[in-house]
Amino acid sequence: MRRKRVILVIGVFVVILGGLAWLLVPAPDPLFHGKPESEWIKSISYGVSISDAENQEQVKRWRDFGPEGVRVLARAVDKANHHHRSQRTYRKVYRRVSAMLPGFLVRLLPAPAPLVTSGPPTNAIDLLSRLGKDAESAAPAVARALKSEDSGVRNIAIGFFISPGSEDARLSRMKQKEKRNLLSDFIRAVEDKGANWALRSNAAVALKYYPEQRETIAPVLLKALQDPSPWVRQCAAESLYGVAPDLMSKSGVAPIVIGVLRDPDDQIASRAAFLLGEMRAQPALAVPALIESLENTNSLVDSTAAQALVRFKEQAEVIIPALEKAAQRKDNGGGWARSALEQLEPQAAANRGAPK
């Protein structure tokens, strides 16, 4: 009986070694323009880490390679996906068998490798994003990267589908079936509280391209309005406005956006000011908050607030005195306040002449 047990343990060990060899066998590395593809991938720089001129040169180089260059980048993404899946499988197997095998055999097995983040996979996906419509054929490979356990890879993969934004985003051009297959990955990313806030905010942006899935994504976005990150809350509010604008007042979105408006980060605060003007929800709260922002020391925030106030024409007589005060300044915000006044003063006169 003991001999059979030893033979069984050795057999299990041999199977594990065979499986490990299969998992870790290096993928083919064909030549591309005289160099191994892996060398080309290692030479790619992350777009935001280099100058505009260097970025344009890098994009031009790969665009000049044509469809074959896109295939090289897509293969690099798939190889990274395969590596991550293999490592994830090995980690699971290692945890299970280490409790079954004798210690001396466990020590013969290589320890699971740490999770590798950033580097070639994210750089390749970022470059594909910058190639725009020329990289359409790489979409299936990038879609598979959405399931990576590396949140950095998932985040840059989401960026591929939502760039360059608005109606030009790749998600807005995809076929319904292909787009629908990605929805669960975006929802999982929005709800991943253990990941970086950038992943959750990008995923929230992606959900605005699913108006046909309103019943599914509205509850997800409403929950995301409570996220600790102001960026996630703002992106969730913007997407909710896009897919379910009727929920903006009844769901109490305006107070949340007003909270973001007071954030010291001018980039996100200005977006909050713009959204308040677009929503025109709960003016009793939104108008005082925007008037307060006219005195913001940041020109991006105060100028956006002035433009947003124009949307609340029914409260022109309340808004005009604040704009008149802001218009006295000689800065950019003062100029926008004067422009807003020109639009609101006729409305104020009309309001005064209206029958009570």
DSSP state of 208: G
| CATH of span 182-251 | 1.25.10.10
Separation between Cα atoms, residue 159 and residue 189, nearest integer Å: 12
CB-CB contact of 244 with 219 (8 Å): no
Residue-wise DSSP of 277-330 = HHH---HHHHHHHHHHHTT-S-HHHHHHHHHHHTT-GGGHHHHHHHHHHHTTS-
Separation between Cα atoms, residue 64 and residue 81, nearest integer Å: 26
Domain boundaries, the chain: 14-111, 182-251, 282-356
Predicted pLDDT of residue 141: 94
CA angle 117, 123, 128 (to 5 degrees): 135
- Residue 61 tokens read as 């180089």
DSSP state of 8: H
Predicted pLDDT of residue 226: 95
Residue type, 144: R
Separation between Cα atoms, residue 20 and residue 109, nearest integer Å: 9
- Residue 122 tokens read as 């994210």
- For residue 59, how far is the Cα from the chain centroid? 21
User: Could you read off the pLDDT tens digit of each residue along the chain, which spans 356 residues?
Assistant: 566 555 555 555 555 555 555 455 556 788 999 999 999 999 999 888 899 999 999 999 999 999 999 999 999 998 876 555 555 555 566 566 666 666 665 565 666 555 544 445 889 999 999 999 999 999 999 999 999 888 889 999 999 999 887 778 999 999 999 999 999 999 999 999 988 999 999 999 999 999 999 999 999 999 999 999 999 999 999 999 999 998 887 788 999 999 999 999 999 999 999 999 999 999 999 999 999 999 988 899 999 999 999 999 999 999 999 999 999 988 888 999 999 999 988 755 455 444 44
Residue-wise DSSP of 146-160 = TT-S-HHHHHHHHHH
H-run or E-run covering 36: strand 35-36
- Residue 152 tokens read as 């950095």
* Side-chain-side CA neighbours of residue 85 (13 Å): 11
CB-CB contact of 12 with 101 (8 Å): yes
Q: What's the predicted TM-score (pTM) here?
A: 0.80
Residue-wise DSSP of 114-181 = PPP-SSHHHHHHHHHHHTGGGGGGGHHHHHHHTT-S-HHHHHHHHHHHH-S-GGGSHHHHS-HHHHHT
H-run or E-run covering 32: strand 31-32
Separation between Cα atoms, residue 127 and residue 320, nearest integer Å: 48
CB-CB contact of 123 with 44 (8 Å): yes
Instruction: Report helix, strand or coil for 251.
Output: coil
Instruction: Report helix, strand or coil for 31.
Output: strand
Backbone angles phi, psi at 58, to 5 degrees: -65, -45
Predicted pLDDT of residue 217: 95
Predicted pLDDT of residue 297: 84
CB-CB contact of 46 with 126 (8 Å): yes
